[in-house]
Structure 1
Amino acid sequence: MDLDKPPARQPAQQPPEGCLVVAVRLPVRIVVLVLVVPVRMAWDALVVAGRFLKDTVLRPFGRALLWLGAVLVVRPLVGLWRYVVVPVGRALAWLGKVLVVVPLVWCHRHLLTPVGHALLWLARGTGAVLTWMYAHVLAPVGVGIATAAAWLARHLVVVPARWLYDWILAPVGRAIAWCARGVWRLLGLLVAGVGRVLYWVTRILLVLPAVALWRWVLAPAGRVLAVVGREVWDALGHAWRIAGRVSLAVGRFLASLFRWIFVEPVRWVYRTVLTPVGHVVRDTVLRPAAEAARAVGRATRQALTAARESVRQARADVRRMLFGEPRKREAVVRGEPSRRGTRTLGGSSTALTKD
């Protein structure tokens, strides 16, 4: 079974690098690293500032703009469409139907349709007359005229033209074609000779020097520039990665420094000073003040309730002194009757069913 397995892929071996590559790589990477580290640190600082600005300014500002747009634009437009445009459109549609469509339908049904039927009947009669005239008058006359015209054209035009073509134009054309073929061959020989001469002159004066320049000057210079460019690109990538790590380390160091210089002291002050002071203020000042305020509120509500009851009782006493005691309404029994007054199958209070 192991013999059937395909052989494992060997990693591709890189071609050996020349001395030019090794000599160019180290200086280029050093110079590029020195130039790229400040750029990468500035870029990381801009990214952090941009994220902070987006989270703290741009996003709330965008949400505020969306809310303002919804309040100032979308809702007024929706209300305008719903309560103005749609009712006006329905009213205009009803007016158009009543003032335009209904009159047009009536006019088409009671005026245009009868007139059209009458015109169609007249057209059918006129067409029948014209058809008879064409079949019995115009067609025979046209056939006679066409026959006479064909006979005249044959004997006056076709026969003389054919004789002129056979005895004059055809021999002259053959002679002109033979002369044109000779002149064309002569021109072809001249052009071929001139082309060969120009080909060899161009090859000797332009092509061979250009090939030598490309082979011995431009190609080696291009290879050198390609090696330098590839190394510069690799150096830029390597330096960008190293600068990212350097920037990350610097950022972490600054964050730790800010934390130990500002955040930790503020947190310590908050935990050890402000929190106990706040608890003391809460327990000694705020809670008693809140309890006193609640007690005052309860006393105030009770006093207001007692005052309302006193006023209500005084109004009732004044009404009783002026108008006397009010009548007591008789209680009205509503709902189902009591059990004694209900009618059942076993007993009834009617005269016909008494025992």
Structure 2
Amino acid sequence: MEPEMRPARREPEGCLVAAVRLPVRIVVLVVVVPVRMLWDLLALCARTLHRTVLRPLGRFLLVIPFTWLWRAVLTPLGRGAAWLVRYLVVAPAVWGWRCMVVAPARWLWRSVLVPVGRGLAWLADALLTYLVAAPARWLWRGVLAPAGAGIAWLVRHLVVAPALWGWRWVLVPVGRGAAWLLRTLVAVPLVTLWRWVLVPLGRGLAFLGREVATAFAVAWRVAGYVSRAVGRAVKWVLWQAVGRPARWFYRSVCTPLGHFARDAVWRPARDAVRAALSTARRTLRRALL
């Protein structure tokens, strides 16, 4: 067990420690006891004063007068003010609104605005019927419909019919001839070139590429075997030339010297420093206590 892990043994107290500790404790006791007794007395007086005087006095001075004032004064005053506002302000205002605004507005709506609106609606309907609908109907039947029929006849005989004739007898034969030329001069040679030249050439190049890749893979593996063999040989040479002498020097020279330094120098110095620190700590603790 390490020295710092051992439980500290209680040293027997000497006369000097007892002579210092006892007067200090007596002085502290003499000073603290009256202060604590005074504090407890003040706390008891404060609690008693709060329970017997302050709480009843506050209730008598605040709660009871405020309750009487609310029930006897403020509530009747509020009800009277509400009655006055209702019968002196709200009721006359409602009567005035009904008699001076709503009734004249209702009479104006029924006697003036409704008849005027109906007359304006009849006039607008008559104007639309005789000034807009009838001329528009005559214009459509007499002008626009015959003109549209004539334009449609002209378009059908001058545009659509020639376009259909040109499509059937010009564009379709020309398109068929162009398609035959493209098929004969472009598509068939391209297909022949693809089937009989490019595909065999691509297959040959792919076969050649696969063979080259396989050769590279085999050569890579063989080079790995050679490299590992050379590395093992170099490792064996370095071990025989450097590693084994270094291991012998470490085991035969460095290790005994390190053990001697640890056992003869480091551990005694460490134990002496720890013992000195422990003694100083105990002396300081005794002095403080």
TM-score by length of 1: 0.41
Considering Cα pairs closer than 8 Å and 6+ residues apart, tell me whether 1 or 2 has the greater RCO: 2
Which protein shows a greater Rg?
A: 2
